[in-house]
Structure 1
């Protein structure tokens, strides 16, 4: 099953709600991911550009996009970014495949 990096930025309203009533949002999102056939591998609170960082597995790009849309529609995040990830084994396969291609740069 493909892996995805999900990075989200909470709204000020979401932060306010979490400060008033602290909660582990991974416990909220895990069943949503699992209901789509996915798996939450890891969840982190981050400092910097993004507030929440998840590593998830989803059955396909359509499912990953649907999760992103559902979270965005909930209005608890200002932005969400979903990045497909490759395992090291997949990356090596891609490198081998690239090595056999005949591509020439513009001259």
Structure 2
């Protein structure tokens, strides 16, 4: 299953919701959303600074990740960034593929 790193920042409304629900309430909601799309939460950590939340999830495909991201962003309570995570084997495979490319000006 493809793995993604999600970095999130709460808006003021989202932070107020977190204060009302607590961290365990939000984790439950995240797990329910991810599971509803056939995925699994591997890790979830709260932070402070540029990101309020960091989550690693497995989804069946990129479309499921996109569906979750669109729904969460549309709520207006959270801004998110999702980064696909690749294994050593996937990078090794990519490194061995022939890529037809010409650098600009070459």
Asked whether the two chains share a fold, i.e. TM above 0.5, the reply is yes
CA distance, structure 1, for counterparts of residue 19 and residue 63 of structure 2: 33
Instruction: Give the RMSD, CA atoms, in angstroms.
Output: 1.6
Q: Unpaired runs of 5+ in structure 2?
A: none
- Deviating beyond 6 angstroms after TM superposition, the runs of 4 or more aligned structure 1 residues are none
Tell me the TM-score normalised to structure 1 length. 0.85
**Alignment deviations for residues 64-94 of structure 1 (CA, whole Å, 9 cap, x no partner):** 00000111122211x2111111111111111
Aligned length in residues? 104
- Gaps (5+ residues) in structure 1? none
Structural mapping, 1:1-107, within 5 Å: 1-24=1-24, 25-77=26-78, 79-97=79-97, 100-101=98-99, 103-105=101-103, 106-107=105-106
CA–CA distance in structure 1, aligned partners of residues 23 and 62 of structure 2: 29
